[in-house]
Amino acid sequence: MDQSKINQPTEQERVVIPDENGDEHLFEVLFTFDVDETENSYMVLVPEGSQDNEEEEVEVHAFRYEENDEGELSLIPIEDEEEWNMVEEMLNTYIEMSENNEV
């Protein structure tokens, strides 16, 4: 895989995402990473408050994202299997680092 680095937010970042019914849901940014080769940026999110209970499995969402000059965020669904595999690899790396207290 090309060079990419996991970036954890220095403070808790949150993103609001509307669902298909227009209801807004709050998510916490778990980490972001950039892929140098494609110049794409990715964001991995979890529902707000879901990390409080370490016993339960957490639902994870991932998006490619772009930020415009005004700082507005656009989330782009990942539909390509190769992109999903890369995100999954980064998530596994993050989980491994978390278990070893490296994040």
Write the pLDDT tens digit of every residue in 33-64. 999 888 999 999 999 887 766 667 888 999 99
Question: What pLDDT, on the 0 to 100 scale, is given for residue 81?
Answer: 94
Tokens of 31: 């980490």
Per the listing, tokens 């892929």 go with: 35
Residues in CB range of 68: below 8 A, 6 or more apart: 74
Residue 84 φ then ψ, to 5°: -60, -45
Q: pLDDT-derived band of residue 103, with 50, 70 and 90 as boundaries?
A: low
Task: Output the pTM of the full model.
Answer: 0.81
Query: Mind listing the pLDDT tens digit for each residue in 73-96?
Result: 899 999 999 999 999 999 999 988
